[in-house]
């Protein structure tokens, strides 16, 4: 998992002093290998305890462990060598071609970063849970709801009994018909959407397994989930809600869909049958 990506994802939920450390590292990642905790604390006007706490918040044993992973992360980024003009902010004077190429570059980066933050053991758990579930309910609000609908159609193609509702009352009605053999799949990048949080709590109280797809930063929905899937945001200045996590979310959905299909012959048959049916409606 990329260290810098993890810092970017978790920064907004850190304390004010931890944010100072995080921002300095993001702005000067190459310098960190030269520092010990005292030197980094001094240059960020924080304390050694803050630096150690920052490293542990990211999941490291301490600052030396953090520095080693950061060094490896920087080495990987140099090897990829994809930092160029197309990573610059989108500007009003940009031509359609430049805008298109910048968006394409950011989308490619979002897909790559998603793979970096993905816990593939959790992904495999999700595949098993979804494949075994009698019913799968998809839940998301706003643009997360659109991504949920995409997965809904994919699950139908695989022959799964899938449900989706955007109205909160109807979501509760669907939950009332579900039990321990079913799965609630919640999509909320912030992990703080009140409607999704309430639905997740109710599902847990009924013994329904919960898969949550959220940002990697600690959040209420992620804390409740049985299986945790991570997504990232695009890093461009043109961050409408529609663009930010969508590419990352769809990447995770596609990984689940492909893996479920490859591991289940019956699901492959459902897809081939669907393709044949659709072919019959095409103009010859």
pLDDT, one tens digit per residue, over 232-280 is 876 555 544 445 689 999 999 999 999 999 988 888 888 888 888 888 8
pLDDT, one tens digit per residue, over 114-167 is 888 889 999 999 999 999 999 999 999 988 999 999 999 999 999 999 999 888
CA distance 9 to 218: 10
pLDDT, one tens digit per residue, over 207-228 is 999 999 999 888 999 999 999 9
Q: How far apart are the first and last CA of the chain?
A: 48
- Count CB atoms within 10 A of the CB of residue 156: 14
Domain with CATH 3.40.50.10490 in the chain: 117-279
pTM: 0.77
Among 178, 179, 195, CA closest to 187: 195
Domain 1-81 has CATH 1.10.10.10: yes
Query: Between vectors from CA 272 to CA 266 and to CA 277, what angle results, nearest 5°?
Result: 125
Determine if residue 161 is left, alpha or beta; phi over 0 gives left, psi from -120 to 50 gives alpha, anything else beta. beta
- Cα torsion 260, 265, 269, 271 to 10°: value is 10
Confidence of residue 73 (pLDDT cuts 50, 70, 90): confident
- Strand 209-215, strand 227-231: pairing: parallel
Choices 3.40.50.10490, 3.20.20.70, 3.20.20.140, 3.40.50.2300: CATH for 117-279? 3.40.50.10490
């Amino acid at each position: 998992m990329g260290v810098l990506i993890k810092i970017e994802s978790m920064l907004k939920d850190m304390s004010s002093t931890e944010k100072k450390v995080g921002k300095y590292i993001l702005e000067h990642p190459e310098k960190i290998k030269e520092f010990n905790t005292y030197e980094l604390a001094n240059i960020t006007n924080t304390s050694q305890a803050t630096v150690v706490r920052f490293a542990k918040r990211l999941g490291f044993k301490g600052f030396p462990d953090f520095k080693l992973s950061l060094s490896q992360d920087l080495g990987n980024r140099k090897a990829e060598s994809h930092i160029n003009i197309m990573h610059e902010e989108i500007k009003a004077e940009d031509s359609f071609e430049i805008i298109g190429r910048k968006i394409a570059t950011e989308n490619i980066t979002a897909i790559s970063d998603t793979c970096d933050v993905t816990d593939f053991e959790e992904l495999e758990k999700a595949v098993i849970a979804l494949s075994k579930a009698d019913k799968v309910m998809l839940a998301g609000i706003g643009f997360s709801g659109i991504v949920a609908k995409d997965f809904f159609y994919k699950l139908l193609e695989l022959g799964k009994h899938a449900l989706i509702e955007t109205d909160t009352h109807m979501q509760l009605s669907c939950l009332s018909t579900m039990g321990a053999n079913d799965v609630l799949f919640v999509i909320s990048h912030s992990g703080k959407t009140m409607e999704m949080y309430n639905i997740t709590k109710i599902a847990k109280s009924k013994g329904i397994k919960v898969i949550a797809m959220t940002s990697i930063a600690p959040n209420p929905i992620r804390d409740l989930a049985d299986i945790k899937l991570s997504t990232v945001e695009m890093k461009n200045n043109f961050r409408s809600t529609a663009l930010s996590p969508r590419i990352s979310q769809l990447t995770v959905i596609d990984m689940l869909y492909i893996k479920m299909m490859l591991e289940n012959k019956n699901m492959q048959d459902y897809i081939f049958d669907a393709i044949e049916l659709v072919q019959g409606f095409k103009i010859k």
